[in-house]
Structure 1
């Protein structure tokens, strides 16, 4: 294998996305909302860390730089690999953003297309290291799993998916993007929609300089037999809504059993430890009363306080939440700095495809004692002193 460098690029979108993630995304960018105890973006970044010869990771989006500054600094120090956030001046699309920052991406002088074609492609599971597939000297290779590769860059389309799209690409991708831009300039409409784009044009408009990697670049390459896919047998899930994040958190927690068992909590209700059922992540700073019962599929973030007799099932509890004695939380996401009163109940059906199948409390919501919040969404800074069911509290 060549010792030349690999660069990873992760597309993180921007604030025009994530509106369906409200109220959680009002004050926190969607990629930084915790999933199984870590920001969503942390999971693909951690996967990238396992790539041989990884020189740098770029996050590209159009959030304000200050929103990512603290996380980028922290993760760079943790992984000992430079992680940079590059802010687009406006949304360019996944391919357009790649082209817009092509000079920055090429700073590390990653491997050339000529060098890449001299090697076969080994595809391995990022966690078990099991060899899954081998292709001899591919000219271009695009897959849906993590790759051990000597290609220019690993482009991850983060915005809508857990387990994401992984695109190992060489420098010729910039020529393909330039070709699409040329078509756009040459057509009277300033944009030549793909067949898939024509199908979607009735529901959304595409800006003239907006180029998408999957529809506008990769689909034509597939027709020319310049693109190949590898079918990933592992889990794959969209994460467009908070309800889906609860399902995805459970998937990652289950995966931790094989990949990171040290992250999972344990306890049998004895020796002053609470009862832990199934897969549960608990931040080290959490204060748990030993009579609480937690799990399955629960993620509890930093500085949470859980009182006596509390029952938590299939839920995400974000930073600085207080859950008082004998409260119950089921199929719910509890926002930062919220408070659940004594003998209160916050729950939902758990059907993540239903509009109110998951109860969501925004930041700094107070549920007073003996109040039930069932199948509802509550915006930030609200106080509930009466029970609500299947409602949206604005």
Structure 2
């Protein structure tokens, strides 16, 4: 599930020119991580990306990832938002083309290790129609998510409530599911039930107007409120708890944190993607760093930990990079420092300049963001600030949003 341009507004300004699912984390588009996890499943038939971005925005990525992973990846554009369960149902004929025994549903803006084989094994043992990935979080943060109660022995989902006002449980829904095709019947029931209710509503025109604004379209079905909550406690849905990392990627600050999580995961899954260097013939690399093969980096630069460098980046002598995402075609000149920051495509950072922040991933100005084609001139310091695209900074700024 990749959503659409009306979603992810908190992700601006980095999503102005790149759909959020294609924003790079650890050097790979956000959506690449769940797709790679699917690829590790034996007998994988197809990967569908479902959303309401324009087809052209995904065309290039879909063709390159299909070739790279040797698995068919297709982008399916909704005619309008149908909700996560509704979208699944809307494309049910295409999804069932290969008569799959199981269907994984993954949300693109989730960062985790995607333990799909373990989930499938647990799901097969339960005999239900679906299993959802869950994780324990602090009691203070639980109400930002879907909270749930599961049987400690059987792992059956007993109760589910989306973002409750009072504390229910410290177990939350991770937005990763495996279903049998029976899920389509459950979604259809919700739609049919809604249609029946709409037809039965023989009330005065004023009441009808009020209830019409309250009721959802029959083909808009949310997975959490419309499927998980009603099916909880009916021996239909089960849970699989992950002990690994999990985050939701709602803001650019969180993308920097998640990039670090994926980079550290590469040590176990894809060590060949991590850069190395000791400062003699190539730059000094500290910790987990991804460098695109086309990037040019001076041997006296010092990079890491948690740095991701995209295509055609040029990094001059004496540069220091810490905890940052550098996008395509960026130039960083001599002795500049970038720390806890995202540097947009085609931007330039001058000599002895700094783009830096304190690295509070949850705060609005906790990281510094330079939008596309921003020029920071020599000896300018940008601290805890957001700079919108196509700006030139010739004076230092602190805790500011440059429009």
Alpha-carbon distance between aligned partners in 2 of 1:337 and 1:134, rounded to the nearest angstrom:
46
* Match status 1:48 vs 2:58: no
SS at match of 1:66: helix
Alpha-carbon distance between aligned partners in 2 of 1:295 and 1:130, rounded to the nearest angstrom:
34
CA contact (8 A) 1:50 1:126 kept: no
* Match status 1:142 vs 2:131: yes
**Residue 291 of structure 2 corresponds to which residue in structure 1?**
282
Stretch deviating more after TM superposition (127-136 or 87-96): 127-136
Stretch deviating more after TM superposition (45-54 or 166-175): 166-175
**Residue 20 of structure 1 corresponds to which residue in structure 2?**
10
* Match status 1:264 vs 2:274: yes
Alpha-carbon distance between aligned partners in 1 of 2:83 and 2:116, rounded to the nearest angstrom:
30
SS at match of 1:285: coil
SS at match of 2:2: strand
* Match status 1:217 vs 2:207: no
CA contact (8 A) 2:331 2:346 kept: yes
Aligned-residue CA RMSD (Å): 2.6
Stretch deviating more after TM superposition (44-53 or 103-112): 103-112
Residues 207, 125 of structure 1: CA spacing in aligned structure 2 closer, same or farther, 3 A cutoff? closer
**Residue 87 of structure 1 corresponds to which residue in structure 2?**
77
Alpha-carbon distance between aligned partners in 2 of 1:356 and 1:224, rounded to the nearest angstrom:
45
Counterpart among 33, 39, 42 of residue 23 in structure 2: 33
Residues 341, 205 of structure 1: CA spacing in aligned structure 2 closer, same or farther, 3 A cutoff? farther
Alpha-carbon distance between aligned partners in 2 of 1:294 and 1:221, rounded to the nearest angstrom:
50
SS at match of 1:223: coil
CA displacement at 1:68 relative to structure 2: 0.2
CA displacement at 1:107 relative to structure 2: 1.3
**Residue 59 of structure 1 corresponds to which residue in structure 2?**
49
Post-superposition Cα deviations, 1:321-368, rounded to whole Å, max 9, x if no partner, equal 000000000000001110001110000110011110010011111111
Residues 38, 185 of structure 1: CA spacing in aligned structure 2 closer, same or farther, 3 A cutoff? same
Structure 1's unaligned 5+ residue stretches are 1-10, 114-123, 146-162, 192-203
CA contact (8 A) 2:130 2:183 kept: no
Alpha-carbon distance between aligned partners in 1 of 2:394 and 2:400, rounded to the nearest angstrom:
14
SS at match of 1:313: strand
CA displacement at 1:183 relative to structure 2: 2.3
Alpha-carbon distance between aligned partners in 2 of 1:134 and 1:187, rounded to the nearest angstrom:
33
Residues 362, 283 of structure 1: CA spacing in aligned structure 2 closer, same or farther, 3 A cutoff? same
* Match status 1:382 vs 2:391: yes
SS at match of 2:93: helix
CA contact (8 A) 1:184 1:190 kept: no
- In the superposition, the TM-score normalised over structure 1's length comes to 0.82
Counterpart among 238, 250, 260 of residue 248 in structure 2: 238
Structure 1 stretches of 4+ moved >4 Å? 124-135, 188-191, 204-207
CA displacement at 1:133 relative to structure 2: 5.4
CA displacement at 1:18 relative to structure 2: 1.3
CA contact (8 A) 1:275 1:290 kept: yes
Structure 2's unaligned 5+ residue stretches are 104-112, 135-172, 202-212
* Match status 1:341 vs 2:325: no
Residues 111, 238 of structure 1: CA spacing in aligned structure 2 closer, same or farther, 3 A cutoff? closer
CA displacement at 1:175 relative to structure 2: 1.0
**Residue 228 of structure 1 corresponds to which residue in structure 2?**
238
**Residue 318 of structure 1 corresponds to which residue in structure 2?**
327
- In the superposition, the TM-score normalised over structure 2's length comes to 0.80
CA contact (8 A) 1:321 1:337 kept: yes
CA contact (8 A) 2:341 2:355 kept: yes
CA contact (8 A) 2:3 2:51 kept: yes
CA displacement at 1:166 relative to structure 2: 2.5
**Residue 306 of structure 1 corresponds to which residue in structure 2?**
315
SS at match of 1:225: coil
Q: How does 1:150-165 map to 2 (within 5 A)?
A: 165=175
Alpha-carbon distance between aligned partners in 2 of 1:244 and 1:357, rounded to the nearest angstrom:
10
CA contact (8 A) 2:3 2:53 kept: yes
